[in-house]
Amino acid sequence: MSLEEGGTPLVGAPFLSERTGCDVYLKVEGANPTGSFKDRGMTVAVSAALEEGAKAVVCASTGNTAASAAAYAARAGLRGVVIVPEGKIATGKLAQALMHGARVIALRGNFDQALELVRELAKRHPIALVNSVNDYRIEGQKTGAFEVCEELGEAPDVLCIPVGNAGNVTAWWRGFQEDGVRPRLHGYQAAGAAPLVEGAPVEQPETVASAIRIGNPARWEDAMSAFTGSRGEVRAVTDEEILEAYSLLGSREGVFCEPASAASVAGLLRYGAEGRVVCVLTGHGLKDPQTAMNRAASVIPCEPDIEQVETAVMGGG
């Protein structure tokens, strides 16, 4: 089961390099088929589900896993069922899950409760659970690390990555270890949803970066051993810092990612790093048009008249 995921661009970031004094690159995971890194793992998890004779796949999701699971399930001819926190997932992700024909359940609860419920559900029924508690997901997602090392010709010094349920940082660390390299892993959580930083689950996580609004990561232990084993760190960034990095990526680097993805750059800007740094931009900006429209400048209305057009184009000054 493949939609030709992976092989995403690794683009240099001149503005960020200048600003930080590092040699910064962006791994643009939004270029995957459904617009996020989840596809790297979903191709493996859904292939395995098919082989094992599952009739349906299920996941809890803040949005991207749902969109990806729905697409691969559609392709595989399996039923897709996704449980998302009601009112807390970005519009594009919801549209994707629905268009791929998944049954979308809006839970009056948060992601952590949804994950607990699908884990119980998968114990009771022959349904494949495709959250990153499924090890096939990790096996697929580790390929990001292989690609970066191949493209740079060696490992970066530092990898900056947003952390939610902590599957991705677990996967990248596994990939680097299998390549025999040990870059520092710098993980960033949103300040209102930073259980790994605080050392305890967060009951009611809150952040503008809805993809990482997670209070009790399933891959907690794996993530912590990745940070320790790589001599890295896990830190928090505020919503304002995330949105600042989000705007800067769009306006200065020409790369539009979703807010959660910008946490990697927000962390780099706040805490700094040294050497060659790769920031993982986990999902595409088009996923979340609402946050973009709330954040960006307004459009300029104009009558079809040359004088008015001139004024509008020249900025009225």
How far is the C-alpha of 48 from the C-alpha of 279, rounded, in Å?
30
Choose the binding region for ligand AN7 from 45-53, 61-69, 270-278, 298-306 (rule: CB under 6 A).
61-69
User: Taking CB under 6 A as the criterion, which residues in 124-143 touch ligand AN7?
Assistant: 132
Comparing CB distances to ligand AN7, the nearer of 137 and 184 is: 137
Q: What is the total count of residues that contact ligand AN7 (CB under 6 A)?
A: 22
Tokens of 162: 């947003």
Tokens 């839970």 locate to 107
Q: Is the Cβ–Cβ distance between 182 and 155 less than 8 Å?
A: yes
Torsion 135-139-140-144 (CA) sign: positive
How far is the C-alpha of 262 from the C-alpha of 171, rounded, in Å?
19
**Least distance to ligand AN7 from the beta carbon of 225, Å?**
15
Choose the binding region for ligand AN7 from 60-68, 96-104, 173-181, 240-248 (rule: CB under 6 A).
60-68
Q: Residue from 255, 260, 262, 273 that binds ligand AN7 (CB under 6 A)?
A: 260
Tokens of 192: 């209102």
Choose the binding region for ligand AN7 from 42-50, 165-173, 200-208, 288-296 (rule: CB under 6 A).
165-173
How far is the C-alpha of 129 from the C-alpha of 108, rounded, in Å?
20
Q: Residue from 34, 165, 230, 291 that binds ligand AN7 (CB under 6 A)?
A: 165
User: Pick from 210, 215, 294, 295: which is nearest to 249 by CA?
Assistant: 295
Does position 39 bind ligand AN7 by CB under 6 A?
no
Contact residues toward ligand AN7 (CB under 6 A) are 36, 61-65, 132, 162-169, 211-212, 258, 260-261, 282-283
